[in-house]
């Protein structure tokens, strides 16, 4: 069964866009292709808190998100510098300019 989306930042929620992915009857298993879903700090924290609660655990205090984002940015920079990104874009047919549609 798909799950209900209440709000989206990039498109209005309509009857056509309100449902996505699938969730099992228990609510323990969820699948979606919403890019960046877990980048949402509040959503990620809520899911982790619910999982901890189900297992009789408590989460430690939330880390400083700015510091975490900085570390993720460093990791992304390192990965990009370690790969031949032009080759990756050629192989995948993607375009570095995300605002442009079509081949590079």
Residue spans of the domains in the chain: they are 3-54, 63-104
Give the tens place of pLDDT for each residue, 85-102. Answer: 889 888 988 877 755 555
Per DSSP (E only), the strands in the chain are 3-4, 19-20, 22-23, 30-31
Q: Are 17 and 5 in contact (CB under 8 A)?
A: yes
- Three-class secondary structure of residue 77 per DSSP: helix
- Which residues pair with residue 75 across a beta bridge? none
Give the tens place of pLDDT for each residue, 36-67. Answer: 777 777 888 888 898 899 899 998 887 777 77
Q: Around Cβ 42, how many Cβ atoms within 10 Å? A: 8
């Amino acid at each position: 069964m798909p799950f209900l989306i209440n709000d989206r930042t990039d498109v209005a929620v309509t009857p056509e866009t309100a449902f996505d992915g699938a969730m099992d009857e228990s609510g323990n298993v969820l699948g979606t292709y919403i890019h960046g879903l877990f980048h949402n700090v509040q959503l990620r924290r809520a899911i982790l808190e619910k999982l901890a609660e189900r297992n009789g655990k408590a989460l430690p205090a939330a880390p400083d998100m700015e510091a975490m984002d900085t570390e993720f940015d460093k990791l992304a920079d390192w990965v990009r510098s370690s790969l031949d990104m032009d080759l990756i874009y050629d192989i995948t047919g993607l375009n570095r300019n995300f605002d442009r549609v079509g081949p590079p």
